[in-house]
Amino acid sequence: MTRAAGIILAAGQSSRLAPEFKPLADLGGTSLLERCAQAFRTAGVTDLLCVTGHRAGEVRAEALRLGLSCALNPDYAKGMLTSVRAGLAALSPDIDAVFMLPVDIPLVRPATLRALLARFAEAPAAVLHPVFDGLRGHPPLIPAAFFPAILAWEGPGGLAGALEQVSSRDVPVADRNIHFDVDAPEDLAEARRRWARRGIPTRVEALALLRLHDAGERGLAHGRGVAAAALAMARALDARGACLDLELVESAALLHDIAKGQPQHERAGAALLEALDYGPVARIVAAHRDIPPAEASAITERELVYLADKLVWGSQRVSMEARFGQKLDAFAGDAEACAAIRRRLANAMDMQGRVEAAAGVSLEDIITREDA
């Protein structure tokens, strides 16, 4: 089993963030340093080392409170590579690989770290870089075999320059935060917004997740079609004062069939998304196959994604009757299955009526207006 460590680089001066100090700046009720440590521990990485420098005493106190080991870099003003070297020199000799994470990149998802660890088990002789939307980000996972080369590197580019000299591989992930660092006050404000919304992937992240789970072009097209229909309904209801979360509607609609092809795919998809810390989306995905009227006390994002899925076949908009008619034809010889299909059709028609009443217009008008 791979023994991986995490080095959190927290030695810099944080001059652009003043008066805040990066390692100790608040992010959702705790420090950036703790957020980094939490991500590692959630991913199963427990050998954690914090490299200190500027205001070392304060950072060390926070690190010790968090149960982290510490290494002091007295040369921190000479650049980040000096902190990398200080961290590597302080590692236990039986470490197989190390993540190198600057403290100002505090929102990397545990799933990203787990993806790198899983790939390392297959490719232990290369530096692994997480990649999102075609660009590499943090943290790289560096095999111990390359530590001597990094410690000896005197060329340009710091750590990036050193890593260019060795074998590397890219690992696709669905995590925009591998590119997001907290350098200025506006970045810290954005980090707090992202932290508060961490349970909802962006559109680009949702599409990346679908690709990672082999949705294929048909699956992507269906997700986009359902998202467009669900957003049309959400906007119509918002115009009447509903205040729905459009980002949640879109991401859940895109991801509702992420486990298509698996038994009880709605439950499988929800479990997958829950494991990725996308709880709000998971709860919608779990219900997208059927919502009996007794379980729908209000029209929420969940109900709209459920209904939108009944209006899209593949990537094409269809009527409710046509959508369920295809199912009835497919199971024409199975009386029990046909009874269940008719029951789900009745539930969907009930939901359609409720949405139309709340919006004050027909569903056809809502969709047509959006297409126009």
pLDDT higher than threshold 80 for residue 236 = yes
Residue range of the domain that includes 65: 4-196
pLDDT, position 57: 98
pLDDT, position 150: 94
Helices (H) and strands (E) in the chain, counts: 16, 10
What is the pLDDT averaged over residues 233-237?
97
Helix or strand holding residue 134 (H, E): none
* Residues 50 and 98 placed together within one structural domain of the fold: yes
Domain boundary among 160, 179, 196: 196
pLDDT higher than threshold 70 for residue 12 = yes
Directed axis angle between helix 203-212 and helix 216-238, to 10°? 150
Question: What percent of the chain is modeled with pLDDT above 70?
Answer: 99
Report the candidate in 18, 60, 336, 299 with the shortest Cα–Cα distance to residue 185. 18
* Residues 181 and 316 placed together within one structural domain of the fold: no
pLDDT, position 372: 55
Q: How many domains does the chain have?
A: 2
Domain boundary among 177, 196, 215: 196
pLDDT in tens, 243-274: 999 999 999 999 999 999 999 999 999 999 99
* Residues 166 and 245 placed together within one structural domain of the fold: no
pLDDT, position 297: 76
Q: 101 phi and psi, to 5 degrees?
A: -125, 115
* Residues 282 and 346 placed together within one structural domain of the fold: yes
> What band does 370 get if pLDDT is binned at 50, 70 and 90?
low
* Residues 359 and 239 placed together within one structural domain of the fold: yes
Buried b (16+ CB within 10 A) or exposed e, 34-48: bbbbebbbebebebb
Report the candidate in 6, 72, 2 with the shortest Cα–Cα distance to residue 33. 6
| Mean pLDDT, the chain, whole residue set | 95
* Residues 106 and 246 placed together within one structural domain of the fold: no
* Residues 10 and 137 placed together within one structural domain of the fold: yes
Cβ burial of 120 (10 Å; 0-12, 13-18, 19+) is: buried
The C-alpha atoms of residue 366 and residue 362 are separated, in whole angstroms, by 6
pLDDT, position 47: 97
pLDDT higher than threshold 80 for residue 361 = yes
* Residues 171 and 286 placed together within one structural domain of the fold: no
pLDDT in tens, 45-72: 999 999 999 999 999 999 999 999 999 9
User: CATH no. for residue 24?
Assistant: 3.90.550.10
* Residues 211 and 343 placed together within one structural domain of the fold: yes
pLDDT higher than threshold 70 for residue 91 = yes
Q: CA gyration radius for the chain?
A: 25
> What band does 332 get if pLDDT is binned at 50, 70 and 90?
confident
* Residues 32 and 156 placed together within one structural domain of the fold: yes
The C-alpha atoms of residue 369 and residue 3 are separated, in whole angstroms, by 56
* Residues 90 and 144 placed together within one structural domain of the fold: yes
pLDDT, position 305: 98
> What band does 275 get if pLDDT is binned at 50, 70 and 90?
very high
User: CATH no. for residue 361?
Assistant: 1.10.3210
pLDDT higher than threshold 90 for residue 24 = yes
pLDDT, position 318: 87
pLDDT higher than threshold 80 for residue 20 = yes
* Residues 166 and 298 placed together within one structural domain of the fold: no
What's the pTM value of the predicted model, to 2 decimals? 0.92
**All residues at 6 or more sequence positions from 49 whose CB lies less than 8 Å from its CB, including other chains:** 5, 6, 7, 8, 68, 69, 70, 71, 87, 90, 91
Report the candidate in 98, 274, 103, 108 with the shortest Cα–Cα distance to residue 199. 274
Domain boundary among 196, 212, 227: 196
What is the pLDDT averaged over residues 122-145?
96
pLDDT higher than threshold 70 for residue 371 = no
